[in-house]
Amino acid sequence: MKILQLAFAGALALATITGGAQAQSSDNIVTIELKDGPVVIELRPDIAPKHVQQIKDLAAAGEYDNVAFHRVIKGFMAQTGDVQYGDMKDGFQPQLAGTGGSSKPDLPAEFSDVPFERGTVGMARSQDPNSANSQFFIMFAAGDFLNGQYTVVGKVVEGMEKVDKIKLGDDANNGAVTDPDRMISVKVGK
């Protein structure tokens, strides 16, 4: 009987610890509403704390709502997050989308050994590794050539089939999208 009580106490303690971890991790979930439904991204503050915080702050402020997927390349990735020029309801400038950021400062690179695989979310930047700000991309397929060169911030954990339906861009124009799809809304949590 004593062994059964100890086993039950151990199982209860493990369930409590696991439940606490799940509750805490919901703070590191972002849900993007697309035309075809929600996409859930699990953010990785353990490998990119500054980038994750910036994404969460921008999402909580509604900055990502209605922002275009301005560059989408078949078999590679879908890029979005230009809150300066990409807001399709407030000041959309298609010729500049992809060149802007946010009112927040650029971030120093937080490279990790996490590989770029299908569903990986990475931060877009200019040639300067320390220039990521608000733009990010979602991988359609593995991109090993990005490993260690761009900051990984998370991974799609639900709804990747909806990401696959984002309108593709023009291959001849580096994936630029005419009349692009948008992130209808982005919120922290599920």
Structure tokens at 95: 């010729």
Q: How confident is the model at residue 34 (pLDDT cuts 50, 70, 90)?
A: very high
Please report the pLDDT score of residue 25 as a whole number.
57
Tokens of 37: 């439904």
Q: Where are the domains of the chain?
A: 28-188
CATH superfamily of 28-188: Cyclophilin-like (2.40.100.10)
pLDDT digits (tens, 9 = 90+) for 142-176: 999 999 999 999 999 999 999 999 999 999 999 99
4: pLDDT strictly greater than 90: no
**Rounded to an integer, what distance in angstroms lies between the CA atom of residue 140 and that of residue 172?**
19
Q: How confident is the model at residue 26 (pLDDT cuts 50, 70, 90)?
A: confident
d(CA 36, CA 20): 32
* Statement: residue 7 has pLDDT above 50: no
pTM over 0.85: yes
Q: Where is 165: in which H helix or E strand?
A: none
Burial of 99 (0-12, 13-18, 19+ CB in 10 A): middle
**Tens digits of residue pLDDT in 46-98:** 999 999 999 999 999 999 999 999 999 999 999 999 999 999 999 999 999 99
Neighbours of 10 (CB within 10 A): 10
CA distances from 105 to 4, 100, 133, 180 (A): 56, 12, 7, 27
Say whether pLDDT at 1 is over 90: no
pLDDT given at position 62: 98
22's enclosing H/E stretch is helix 2-25
The residues that bridge with 67 in the sheet, in sequence order, are 87, 183
Overall average pLDDT of the 112-127 stretch:
98
> What pLDDT does 15 receive?
42
Burial of 83 (0-12, 13-18, 19+ CB in 10 A): buried
